[in-house]
Amino acid sequence: MKKIIVLGKSKKFIKIIKELYVNYEIKNFSWREIDKIRNLKLLSNINIIFVCGYDYNSQWYSYNKFYRTNISSPYKFISSIVKKNTFLFYVDTIDKIKKNSNSKTLILSRYEYAKKMLRYKLIKGFNKIQIIELPHIIDKNSNVNIFGNRLTKIIFRILIFIKLIDSIELTKIKKKFLIKNNFNKKYTLSKPISLFLFIPRPLFIDRFLRIISG
């Protein structure tokens, strides 16, 4: 049986993967489990790897721990199990969260920086990679599917309603998780530049910093 590794605990993405790849053996690991995995031989002959995680507690970590948790450790883990014929999917956030915003030069958000830096390292390190860029996801009732409390979700629903930020319906992202010929696509290498990431902050503030920076 072919094997899939899903790195991340997003229920919506795991559901999509299970629906698309019914004849695969699927193993799922949370972002914080990576450093605890000791026997990598059990993860041999992996056909597909889906990377769709982030440690939301890392907003309060020191910068070094934040970087290790969200960038260094997952990259090292992926490098240890990926083979020549392994397909790698990386679920990324869009470059510009606001509609009609200008090109961004500095990243103020820890979340955005982690996603973009891991993307940079994966593109630089592997050839068979497909990037899935997604804005905020909404369900059929226009509810925002993001990690956060009720107030955060209400605020983002309003921002989407007034068309300040982009969104995509959950039903429209399924086809993005299929293996296509564009695994040969060459992505532009763009190393992210950050500012003030050494300062821990609540997730709500981090999201606000991302919005104001575009």
Domain segments of the chain: what residues? 2-212
Question: Bridge partners of 169?
Answer: 138
Q: Please tell me which residue, 162 or 137, carries the higher pLDDT value.
A: 137
Claim: this prediction has a pTM higher than 0.85: yes
Q: What is the CA radius of gyration of the chain?
A: 17
Tokens encoding 28: 């799922």
Q: Which CATH number applies to 2-212? A: 3.40.50
Q: Please tell me which residue, 89 or 150, carries the higher pLDDT value.
A: 89
- Span 1-8, mean pLDDT? 91
How far, in Å, CA of 98 to CA of 77, rounded?
33
Q: Residue 204's pLDDT band (boundaries 50, 70, 90)? A: confident
pLDDT digits (tens, 9 = 90+) for 85-141: 899 999 998 876 555 555 567 899 999 999 999 999 999 999 889 999 887 777 777
How far, in Å, CA of 55 to CA of 144, rounded?
19
- Span 31-50, mean pLDDT? 81
How far, in Å, CA of 202 to CA of 109, rounded?
11
How far, in Å, CA of 143 to CA of 138, rounded?
5
